[in-house]
Amino acid sequence: MILERDSRYSDGTVLGSMCTEPHPVARRVFREALHVNLGDPYLFPNAAEAERECVRWMARVLLDHPAPEEAVGAIVSGGTEANVLAAYAAREATGGREIIVPETRHFSFEKAARMLRMRLVEAPVDEEYRVDVDAVQDLITRDTALIVGIVGTTETGSVDDVEALSDVAEDRGIPLHVDAAFGGFVAPFLRRYRDLPRFGFDLEGVTSVTVDPHKMGLVPPPAGGIIFRDGELPREIEVHAPYLSGGGSRQFTIVGTRPGAPVLALYANILTLGEEGYERIALACYRETLRVVDAAKDLGLEPAVDPPHLNLANVLLNGRDAAERLLEEAERHGWKVSISSNPLGVRIVMMPHLTADRVTEFLRLVARVVRECGG
């Protein structure tokens, strides 16, 4: 089979992916729901209701919404579509054309800016790759449509001070979008055990959040999540589908015909794992990440952020040569790695399919390469 030549998470060689083996329940429900089209809530009213339930659950449990029934959202094709929708709604609501993003932003914001003919204005970050909130404040102009904070940056897993960003956004009357595509299913649970800023709708300035079920939600792709505080922003971008749902329905997603299978898989995970199950997984992954960082230091390597904010460890590399060598050696030994550029390092996303012991084997290779490249 063609699949045999592609990667499997279960063999523990995939080190740099934010996706993982779906939960067995999600996998089973997904297979049962292959025919479900969320673009037509007339035909699939129960699936549509499941989507609303998922949105309310995420708003309440992950995003501390004081009135979760007011949240409006959708399970879309991924974090990219979610971020595009947030930018689109903010542009329509404010008339502004600038998006202030941390320089650590995911490339999906570049897609959003280009599609929407907006401009990215990048704010610098501190030594732990968190956005400099004073700099964000200084970058605000009359053309600012949206401020973005990140919970779990792609390269180092850093968590921005969204509490401070929210104060700025509220004060200046500018929408604030939080990209918690990766951290949305982790940070709320780790915050019960370690110091991490809040980032949900209990902060008055936060107007929308991206949280991806196909990352730490253990749902098969495609499943990104966009959640707005209430109906105000999505109303700016919704269209009427006059012939659908008997009397017509409204949509604010980009995609019309949408797979219901990922939504029902998420719903099944929520019912099966619930808050406790997701907390257990998040904590287990974070503990393994701390062990990976310790192992890296024992081997003489330098973590980019210590302790890491979430379940992502980034180990610094001493130059482009080391990065090239590592890619070659990793390929030879069957590891699937991902090299970050800011900082130059190897990013290890500690998803449930990885253990610290397995990753430590890889770190020995990294230590040798760094040593041989003069580090």
* Interface positions with ligand 0PR (CB under 6 A): 17-19, 78-80, 83, 106, 108, 150, 152, 154, 179, 181-182, 212, 224
The residue (of 105 and 325) whose beta carbon lies closer to ligand 0PR is: 105
CA angle 43, 44, 49 (to 5 degrees): 140
Q: How far apart are CA 197 and CA 187, in angstroms?
A: 9
Q: How far apart are CA 302 and CA 228, in angstroms?
A: 39
- In the block, which residue shows the tokens 């202030």? 100
The residue (of 41 and 184) whose beta carbon lies closer to ligand 0PR is: 184
The residue (of 40 and 51) whose beta carbon lies closer to ligand 0PR is: 51
User: Given phi > 0 = left and psi -120 to 50 = alpha, else beta, which region is 194?
Assistant: beta
User: Given phi > 0 = left and psi -120 to 50 = alpha, else beta, which region is 12?
Assistant: left
Q: How far apart are CA 169 and CA 196, in angstroms?
A: 20
Contacts of 69 (CB under 8 A, 6+ apart): 56
DSSP 180: -
Which residue has the CB atom at the shortest distance from ligand 0PR? 79
What are the tokens at 97?
């054309």
- Least Å from the CB of residue 219 to ligand 0PR: 11
The single-letter code of the amino acid at 197 is P
The residue (of 80 and 311) whose beta carbon lies closer to ligand 0PR is: 80
- Least Å from the CB of residue 99 to ligand 0PR: 14
- Least Å from the CB of residue 216 to ligand 0PR: 11
The residue (of 17 and 245) whose beta carbon lies closer to ligand 0PR is: 17
Question: Among residues 155, 88, 83, 95, which one has the least CA distance to residue 125?
Answer: 155
The residue (of 41 and 260) whose beta carbon lies closer to ligand 0PR is: 260
- Least Å from the CB of residue 109 to ligand 0PR: 8
- Other Cβ atoms within 10 Å of 321 Cβ, number: 13
What are the tokens at 324?
């090239």
- The dihedral over CA atoms of 107, 288, 219, 183, expressed in degrees to the nearest 10, equals -40
- Least Å from the CB of residue 18 to ligand 0PR: 4
The residue (of 154 and 269) whose beta carbon lies closer to ligand 0PR is: 154
The residue (of 41 and 183) whose beta carbon lies closer to ligand 0PR is: 183
- Least Å from the CB of residue 122 to ligand 0PR: 15
The single-letter code of the amino acid at 113 is A
- Least Å from the CB of residue 104 to ligand 0PR: 9
- Least Å from the CB of residue 362 to ligand 0PR: 16
Question: Among residues 150, 7, 243, which one has the least CA distance to residue 251?
Answer: 243
